[in-house]
Amino acid sequence: MFGQSKSGAPQNRIDSLIGAGTRLDGNLTFSGGLRVDGEVCGSISSDQAQAGTLVVSEQARVEGRISVSHAVINGTVVGPIVASDSLELLPNARVTGDVEYRQIEIQLGAIVEGRLVHQADTGTQALKLASSG
């Protein structure tokens, strides 16, 4: 409960909000939970020391790289997405760019124009390679 690991459960609360009608130009780093209802032109990343959850709502638009632990996308993203733990693409998600994920859920209606690349669990992969040699 205290000191969640980097691959902890998704955040259930939102610590920061970029409201509808707000435009942010520049790169953004956050910890905890971030909800975007407006527009971000720049990269969004979560603090590497702890799990971070990004929610991109239906009316939101992000133009830039997203690199977070957990992401829930229901708006428009133009740029690559790296979700080190899990990625949810809801029915109104429109992604133009490559997507890297460990776990993914894609709902009917979501669109991805790019590659889907699964990230293998590095600990399990190293164990498999060591035992096969």
pLDDT, tens only, 87-106? 999 999 999 999 999 999 99
Residue 20 within a domain: yes
| Side chain identity at residue 75, one-letter code | G
Please give the pLDDT value at position 122: 60
pLDDT at residue number 1: 31
Q: Is residue 3 part of a domain?
A: no
Domain that holds residue 65: 16-132
Q: What is the pTM of this model?
A: 0.82
Residue 127 has pLDDT above 90, yes or no: no
User: Looking up tokens 């990004």, which residue turns up?
Assistant: 54
Cα–Cα distance measured from residue 93 to residue 32, given in angstroms and rounded to the nearest whole number: 22
Q: Does the pLDDT value for residue 109 go beyond 50?
A: yes
Q: Is residue 21 part of a domain?
A: yes
CA distance 23 to 105: 28
Mean pLDDT of 65-93: 97
Percent of the chain at pLDDT exceeding 70: 81
How many domains are there within the chain? 1
Mean pLDDT value across residues 42-50 = 87
| Per-residue confidence band for 121, with pLDDT thresholds at 50, 70 and 90 | confident
Mean pLDDT of the chain: 87
Within 8 A by CB and 6+ apart from 109, the residues are 91, 92, 93
Q: Is residue 2 part of a domain?
A: no
